[in-house]
Amino acid sequence: MYHLTIQTHFAAAHNLLNYQGDCENLHGHNWKIEVTVQTDQLDNAGLGIDFKLLKKKTNEIMDRLDHKYLNDLDMFKGVSPSSEHIARYIFEALSEELTGIDVIVERITVWESDNACASYTQS
């Protein structure tokens, strides 16, 4: 099995719902996103997926989040836009974008700071 990982980022504001502390107030992050996909097949060039294509598909999703107030976005209506929920959203959106390509999204990791992250997988 091959595992391929890219990193990207986005900046946005949010506030956590039902949280007893400072993060219940409006604040922002420069989130770093790690995307890992897996495949057991390589193409004729020896690639599981072209990194250029994986970055393009991922950055299309980042454009939906970048410089936004996450609480106002449809995908987070009534849901606290925590790093956990952001990771799941990116996982599901990217899985849909990669339908028909011989890779599966394995893990999305969302870093909200240099020392705190949340990951989402389906297993």
Catalytic residues: 23, 67, 112
Q: What is the DSSP string of 69-115?
A: BGGGSGGGTTS---HHHHHHHHHHHHHHHTTTSS-EEEEEEEEEETT
CA distances from 106 to 36, 47, 73 (A): 6, 17, 25
The pairing of strands 27-39 and 2-14 is: antiparallel
- Beta carbons of 16 and 24 less than 8 angstroms apart: yes
Q: What distance in Å separates the CA atoms of residue 109 and residue 8, rounded to the nearest whole number?
A: 11
